Structure 1
């Protein structure tokens, strides 16, 4: 038979299958009209029909087996614990995850009931859920307290759905269980963590709210999350002002410290890895309150991380150190003052009067950061007679010093004279541009912004006027104290130098006079307890004793020239002057003989006077 005939037979058989006409053979036999050829062909068609049906059945069976295998693999391998139970709760099937979770073995199947895996406290919930799932196919999950075959327990979430039966059998229930042990533990840890966090935050806020330190917390973008109430006592602004304006701190910082502050903020909020690992840096800053008062603060900040080490910004503290800083500034100023006074006294031996005054004025200018200065000596208080002694080195270097006449006019026109001479008080002008009685300065003079003038008193009168000016900031009481201290020291040294100069002149006159005398004049100084030696000898020394004045001074005492018989008288004469009860300026006189260099003797009358400062002055007159 040809292939075309076979294909035709299969086509006719498929057509009969599709139409469902399977009784055509019986009809032919019943009617008695049998054609063997046609019968053979029809049987072949029927055979083809059966083969087609078998082929379709095999395909359907293979598909069903593949589906069943996939379901079995999925059921066994799914990580979710799954149990198949009867309506009464008998466990029919479990997967590996359920076996591990409940500790089930193969022999438990069809012998173990689901209620035995649930604690008594959850029995009612399980019964209600099973009935609801049987009636409504599915239901919402509930929390069940489960038991394991080895005596353990855990909290789990149960879902139940109705599973249609196979081959007209009874329906079953499929149950999925989610072990909530780890999730509940994490939730408990999270609740505990949040509780500790709230407690910590409460303690922190209590400490921060009642602390005198200004605490704050800024997020990674630089916005304020928290500012302690202490900020208002330090800077004069409430916490809400900083939360509303992240740049408020820039408006408060002293202009000289602003660049340092902005560089610090730029560095710590640069969002780089290095910014979050920077070591805490302490900054000493100045800021101004709304009332104009300046405060010193110590700033310190460090990065903040949460439990997961996530960067949460920076926590900082601004501590008011105004009192400490002022004390440190005062200590430093006292040290510099002492050093300046020492330098001034050391320079007194090397400088003349004008240079010494200028040097002291320069020291005061450095201590007060003043740019110009002058010193005047007062000669006549009634006629306002004053002499400009010197300008400061900075003023002289610019070549713009004010002439003496204009300076004197400035002093008298600005009420400086009354303040210094009559009230005997310092005069301070911290804004010369707005001063009512200011003097129009010549164009060549240094511009004057502020100045201070200090009178120096001696003997109840003003003897000297010291002035400094053009400090970058206002003059304060510490500046006045410093200028007064240096000016007083200058005047004391000047007076001492003048007295010493007058004494030297007087001594030179006395020595010249004594050399013209026919007598001998001498002075003794104390070198030990009741021990004296000759200091100088003038007059007719060589004519009376035959020895030179230098030889007599080298001997150290007149006793070596006194004849032996008169030494007791000489000692008694000396003891009268050395007596502790003897008054200053006491005079003692005696007559005795001196041994001349040529061996002869000379009668002399010795007159000694006890002078102040443990020195004796005496004279010899030839008897």
Structure 2
């Protein structure tokens, strides 16, 4: 741009013959700037104020606005800059208008599509032959990716710095001459020096006198490429001896020359002093053995055994810790530590698969455990906790939680309350188990047993009643022939026929259903059933909300019978919702079973004996309704169960994945 300015000044002083060359130069300049991918703009100045602005054609690639949009709206440029960045824009323009060369600045713009982008803005003033500012050119370069990279690097460096400064070991870095270039806060604490006192000094200056030659040997080993851990003693600022274990790492250039090294220092002073004390005690014992009796020799042997036991215990402790970590990572339960305010810490991400919430959401206190427990179960959970406080401070309790996706699960919690010396609760340590499937299975087993019992009773009753009922009907017909005007005979015959119909329904209910199984998709059958009933459900104001697992396994069953079951359950829900509403149909599966859940609003109170819903005592039980659904599912190896939730009733169909083998 300086050369362009010199050229411009020269042309103004030349003759009119050079004006043509100037025009050609400006045209060439225009073509060059239009080919540049960065955004170039020119502001012409008159009487010290901006008079006209020209935006290069690449402005649209950077800002989303065309040059015509900028020309039509003189204030579009400043509005495109966020309010908090506009002051530096105006300051840069003022400096250019005053005749100075302003420094490049970096600021944000809001593109036409709403994106926030970072740009570098450079201005180059242009003056005439008398030194008057006639214009200034601007180069706008998109630096968003660089800014993102800088922020990512800053965050990475911050994490690294936090790790280094909070680690329990000392950390030091030295150059090729073994002069300290970095030490962390822990190393400064170990030796009693400030960071400023250590940086720039040779490492040997801080080594204990007994180990200076040893350190020089280690330096030579590092230059040869060796890197083994070793123990070395240091001299602290107060003269104390500090024992450490060093794990070194050398850095080398392409030629194998040492360029620097890093060391992690573990303070083993307490261990060393314990070993020295142990060695002293051992020497004293040896002396006493020589001076005194064999009894002291026995004492010495006992001490040796204690040392071996200590080492063995330490080894067992390390192995136990390893087994514990392996157990935590592989056990089906979720380990936690909970506090008095219901905040909780988890050790791994298994909590996400249970609740839908990440470990970080709980550990950062954004989510408390009490917030996922169903409200009606929270008080029961609190009572179990209070009871445990009064006894041995351990408890087992079961309650329901609501996952992030809205699913209701049963949880078994086993906890141990830990208190301080004053009896105040410090925390609760324990594990969570998902017992939802067990709860469903228990409920299904109880319901199945009740229904089997009722079925057996109903069959026996039907058998015992049929013979007297036939005799009763026969005698009633004879009486009717003798006494045609006797109305009581009509009543007896009507009630006898009614009882015979009930007995027929019971017999048909207990009779096996013929099954024609094949591989089929439960999701497809549900979708077809909803479509089949759509005219009727629309009239009733019923809307079916499908939440179908796309990865649901296929089953080996009779699709026609399954369709009949789903249709009856949808119609049953429609009957329960007089004013219409939403019927939620959800599919999911466990390791052994497939589940289809039908959940609809209900203003009726909960059914006290749900097993009676599935018995064929009501009119029409043979052809439609819940008894038929239950009978059909039972013959296919499945089960229909009922549950009551707040303002809702839930019917759940379960089909075993192994149903194909059962049917074959």
What TM-score, normalized by structure 2, do the two folds share?
Answer: 0.30
What TM-score, normalized by structure 1, do the two folds share?
Answer: 0.32
- Which of these two proteins has the greater Rg computed from alpha carbons? 1
